[in-house]
């Protein structure tokens, strides 16, 4: 195989920078486009090293500043329009979709509609628009490679297997930093506590989602769409060491698991090289050193967000999109100090009951549902400001 052209949406974020690290170890990859929201200093550095065809900057002030000061000579685009142009450029072989939140949905769909394979780190895309995305991928014969350790694990376990032979998939969850914290102490959890994940280094949105177990909830929805299994065939187990990244149980009771150290570069490398395991110098796992692997049942009362995700899947229509939008607002409000940690799931649950879902949503309906859910949730939080602190 010759050179592979890759574009990265969100190249200055946690997944974006790690993807570039992995790419810098491979001579077979050429960078087409890079994008950032506001981190133009890092983008400038990345342009120097990887010399892309063009870049997109989503924040207007940052775009203007970059344009007037940069030494980069390629194309420079602004905002959603820029994302549309680059995500539709079919000279790209693989689009790494690692924007944060709902912003990833439309560019990912564009890429799929232009027959570009997608390495998907933005799980919100499948959560908000799972049916639309997977249908488009099927119609355009496009591959979706998950850059999520759990789904990458399942994809690896399914090599050579028949989907009809699967009894269930078992997603592992680290449990986050509050797995052992008694629920009566949840009131006093601070932003710093919640941002301190025991195993994984990630962006702030996903780190908070890991602490509330919403991340696992979103991953349940992601798995539902990626692997086409019924909701009942998706299980979650707490595994604090994050060594087993997930498992598949077959109809003869046999279970396959994929193991490794918690390092996002491994699922990134697999997504870039699928179905090959190319050579990299990542740190090797030493099971004798690790010694013990433990497993626990998830506590749905302590972490109601996980239950909400299963509920949203069962309700269907635009419910998962609404849950995702509401959760983006509550997490942001928590990070801004407007609401307490416990209120994230409380408000998520309230809003899921309050906001009406539509059946068989089009992409237009999804965009509207997302906007609407954000407005309602923001209004609710602002009008009750103080109560939820
Ligand atoms: Mg994950």
Domain ranges of the chain: 4-146
Q: What is the per-residue pLDDT for 188?
A: 92
> What single DSSP character describes residue 55?
E
What CATH number does the domain located at 4-146 have? 3.40.50.720
Which residue matches tokens 């992601």? Answer: 222
Residue 304's Cβ-side half-sphere holds a number of Cα atoms within 13 Å equal to 15
CA of 379 from ligand 1 middle (Å) equals: 31
Enumerate residue ranges in the chain where pLDDT < 70: 1-2, 385-386
242 contacts: CB under 8 Å, gap ≥ 6: 149, 172, 174, 199, 200, 262
CA of 130 from ligand 1 middle (Å) equals: 17
At residue 363, the 3 state secondary structure works out as helix
CA of 245 from ligand 1 middle (Å) equals: 8
Closest CA to 294 of 173, 387, 200, 182: 173
232 class by beta-carbon count within 10 Å (0-12 exposed, 13-18 middle, 19+ buried)? exposed
Closest CA to 49 of 68, 67, 71: 71
Dihedral pair phi/psi, residue 92, rounded to 5°: -80, 130
Cα–Cα distance, 369 to 374 (Å, whole number): 9
At residue 6, the 3 state secondary structure works out as strand
Which residue matches tokens 């997944």? Answer: 15
CA of 102 from ligand 1 middle (Å) equals: 17
Q: What is the per-residue pLDDT for 202?
A: 76
Cα–Cα distance, 12 to 15 (Å, whole number): 8
Cα–Cα distance, 354 to 14 (Å, whole number): 34
Closest CA to 152 of 323, 273, 292, 27: 273
User: In terms of DSSP bridges, do strands 244-250 and 255-259 run parallel, antiparallel, or are they unpaired?
Assistant: antiparallel
CA of 148 from ligand 1 middle (Å) equals: 5
Whether the CB-CB separation of 100 and 203 falls below 8 Å is answered with yes
CA of 122 from ligand 1 middle (Å) equals: 10
Cα–Cα distance, 212 to 197 (Å, whole number): 11
Whether the CB-CB separation of 42 and 65 falls below 8 Å is answered with no
Whether the CB-CB separation of 218 and 127 falls below 8 Å is answered with yes
Q: Which helix (H) or strand (E) holds 29?
A: strand 29-36
Q: What is the per-residue pLDDT for 2?
A: 58
Q: What is the per-residue pLDDT for 387?
A: 79
Q: Which helix (H) or strand (E) holds 250?
A: strand 244-250
340 contacts: CB under 8 Å, gap ≥ 6: 187, 189, 334, 388, 389
pLDDT in tens, 253-304: 999 999 999 999 999 999 999 999 999 999 999 999 999 999 999 999 999 9
Instruction: Give me the residues near ligand 1 (ion), CB cutoff below 5 Å.
Output: 148-150
Runs of H (alpha helix) within the chain: 14-23, 40-50, 60-69, 79-87, 105-113, 123-139, 149-157, 191-194, 204-212, 214-227, 265-273, 287-290, 304-315, 319-335, 341-354, 363-383
CA of 150 from ligand 1 middle (Å) equals: 5
pLDDT in tens, 329-384: 999 999 999 999 999 999 999 999 999 999 999 999 999 999 999 999 999 999 98
CA of 56 from ligand 1 middle (Å) equals: 27
């Amino acid at each position: 195989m010759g050179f592979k052209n890759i574009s990265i949406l969100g190249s200055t974020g946690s997944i974006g920078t790690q993807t570039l690290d992995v790419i810098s170890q491979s001579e077979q990859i050429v960078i087409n486009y890079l994008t950032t929201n506001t981190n133009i200093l890092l983008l400038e550095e990345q342009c120097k090293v990887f010399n892309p065809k063009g870049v997109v900057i989503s924040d207007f002030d940052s775009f203007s500043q970059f344009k007037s000061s940069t030494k980069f000579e390629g194309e420079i685009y602004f905002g959603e329009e820029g994302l549309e142009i680059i995500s539709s450029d079919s000279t790209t072989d693989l689009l790494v979709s690692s924007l944060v939140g709902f912003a990833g949905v439309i560019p990912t769909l564009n890429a799929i509609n232009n027959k570009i394979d997608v390495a998907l780190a933005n799980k919100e895309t499948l959560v908000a628009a799972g049916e639309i995305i997977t249908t488009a991928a099927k119609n355009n014969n496009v591959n979706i490679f998950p850059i999520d350790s759990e789904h990458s694990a399942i994809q690896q376990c399914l090599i050579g297997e028949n989907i009809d032979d699967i009894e269930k998939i078992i997603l592992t969850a680290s449990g986050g930093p509050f797995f052992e914290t008694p629920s009566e102490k949840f009131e006093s959890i601070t932003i710093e506590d919640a941002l301190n994940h025991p195993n994984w280094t990630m962006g702030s949105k996903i780190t908070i989602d890991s602490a509330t177990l919403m991340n696992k909830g979103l991953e349940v929805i992601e798995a539902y769409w990626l692997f086409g299994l019924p909701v009942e065939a998706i299980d979650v187990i707490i595994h604090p060491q994050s060594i087993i990244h997930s498992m598949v149980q077959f109809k003869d009771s046999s279970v396959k698991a994929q193991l490794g150290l918690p390092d996002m570069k491994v699922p990134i490398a697999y997504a870039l090289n699928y179905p090959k395991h190319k050579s990299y110098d990542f740190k090797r796992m030493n099971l004798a050193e690790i010694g013990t692997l433990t497993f626990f049942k998830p506590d749905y009362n302590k972490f109601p967000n996980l239950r909400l995700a299963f509920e949203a899947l069962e309700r269907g229509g635009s419910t998962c999109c609404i849950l995702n939008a509401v959760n983006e607002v509550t997490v942001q409000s928590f990070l801004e100090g407007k609401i307490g940690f416990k209120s994230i799931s409380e408000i998520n649950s309230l809003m899921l009951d309050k906001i009406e879902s539509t059946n068989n949503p089009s992409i237009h309906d999804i965009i509207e549902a997302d906007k609407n859910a954000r407005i309602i949730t923001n209004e609710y939080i602002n009008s009750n400001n103080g109560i939820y602190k």
